[in-house]
Amino acid sequence: MAKDYYKILGVNKNASPDEIRTSFRRLAHQHHPDKKGGNAEKFKEINEAHQVLSDKEKRAQYDQYGSTFDQAGPQGGAGFGGFNGANGFGGFGAGGPFGGGFSNGGQGFEFDLGDIFGDVFGGGARTRTRTRTARGADIHMDAELTFKDAAFGVERPVSLYKQVACDVCGGNGAEHGSGVKKCKTCDGQGQVITNQRTILGTFQSASVCNECHGAGKRPEKACKHCGGNGVIKKHSEFSLKIPGGIDDGETIRVGGGGESGAHGAAPGDLYLTVHVKPDTRFERDGFDVRSTIKISFPQAAAGDEVQVDTLDGQVKMVIPEGTQPGQVFKLRERGIRQLRGSGRGDHLVRVEVSVPKKISKRQKELLQEFESLS
């Protein structure tokens, strides 16, 4: 049965390239084999679907012939070029949700399925799987910020109990005074090649070397502190800068901030999701801030100078005479810091005119006099 690549990526057949790319990144991150609870088969399937639907020509062929389009052709003639399995997904760039500004220390899980059926009738079919030592686990955290901290940014201390590089051997797994040498089992390749003869020919496959765990080298003498793994569990403390302009629910990715990988493998990443506490005085609108003040009828009619709460504290704002209920005044660059640029948004102040429910006899006379003079 033909695979439904649109269903695999969770998009409709009219999805734009941006929608396909966004859905792919979300699903690939969710099912990444290096993550806890990841699914390698699902990840390969997602990659396969993305490889086809992200390519304009392949997508057109798929829409016409289905997932077997690489074997089809006009009037049953010569087949199309097809696609070579699923390419590696290199992880999210600096800041997943953000456009830049964070280091990229993560390494993705790569697949190279090769041409499984190439030269099959010549007896030379081969399968290849590029392998590497498993990178460290990712860490997911949550942080609660005040409205003001989210607007301007803040530096937070972080304390984690995680897997880190052994502080005795420096992560290479070798006892102090000894070194590392090339693994004899895999000849420094990090993988072991095996051949399997079948009626279709000889198939060749590669698997991670059990002796060096894919590193291609082994310690001459295992470190007693970490047992030769190169990693230990301990508390790690550091400061994390949260950029100004971040919004509720957004996530920061710190490349290499996760757990260290055993046997010299790359570390995982740290993902910090931000939760912003509401402030009853302010409402966020993009990078602008909105608030409401109440003034009296005389202030609206005759004008006045009032104090307004802003992110910078109280500032004076002039109420011109003849101000109407619902009128909005702009305090320039008193809003939220731009996340990807310079400068700040504005503070928009909406005016409500307060009408008293009860007035004295004298006040009523004055209002009537005011009305007669209008």
pLDDT digits (tens, 9 = 90+) for 84-97: 333 333 333 333 33
Averaged pLDDT for residues 170-180: 87
Phi first, then psi: give them for residue 13, nearest 5 degrees.
Answer: -70, -15
Phi first, then psi: give them for residue 326, nearest 5 degrees.
Answer: 85, -5
pLDDT at 206: 82
String of DSSP letters for 104-151 = ------------TTTTGGGT---------PPPPPPEEEEEEE-HHHHH
345 within 8 A of 311, measured Cβ to Cβ = no
How much of the chain is helix, strand and coil, in % rounded to 5? 20, 30, 50
pLDDT at 87: 35
pLDDT digits (tens, 9 = 90+) for 327-364: 999 999 999 999 888 899 999 999 999 988 888 999 88
Residue 311: pLDDT band (50, 70, 90) is very high
Averaged pLDDT for residues 174-183: 87
Structural domains in the chain? 1-89 (1.10.287.110), 107-278 (2.60.260.20), 283-373 (2.60.260.20)
Mean pLDDT, the chain, whole residue set: 81
pLDDT at 81: 35
pLDDT digits (tens, 9 = 90+) for 199-249: 767 777 888 888 888 888 888 899 999 999 899 999 999 999 999 999 999
Residue 100: pLDDT band (50, 70, 90) is very low
103 within 8 A of 255, measured Cβ to Cβ = yes
Instruction: Indicate if the pLDDT at residue 126 is higher than 90.
Output: no
pLDDT at 68: 57
Q: Which of 227, 226, 231 is nearest to 267 (CA)?
A: 231
Averaged pLDDT for residues 113-134: 41
Q: At a CB cut-off of 8 Å and minimum separation 6, what does 144 contact?
A: 275, 276, 277
Phi first, then psi: give them for residue 72, nearest 5 degrees.
Answer: -95, 175
pLDDT at 96: 38
pLDDT digits (tens, 9 = 90+) for 135-155: 899 999 999 999 999 999 999
Instruction: Indicate if the pLDDT at residue 374 is higher than 80.
Output: no
> Widest CA span of the chain, in angstroms?
109
Q: Which of 292, 268, 267, 288 is nearest to 345 (CA)?
A: 288
Instruction: Indicate if the pLDDT at residue 121 is higher than 60.
Output: no
pLDDT digits (tens, 9 = 90+) for 49-99: 888 898 888 888 888 877 555 544 443 333 333 333 333 333 333 333 333
What is each CA distance from 258 to 9, 153, 208, in whole angstroms? 27, 22, 23
Of the two residues 275 and 190, the one the predictor is more confident about is 275
175 within 8 A of 221, measured Cβ to Cβ = yes
pTM of the model: 0.58
pLDDT at 69: 55
pLDDT digits (tens, 9 = 90+) for 2-59: 789 999 999 999 999 988 988 988 888 888 776 777 888 888 889 888 888 988 888 8
pLDDT at 316: 97
pLDDT at 62: 86
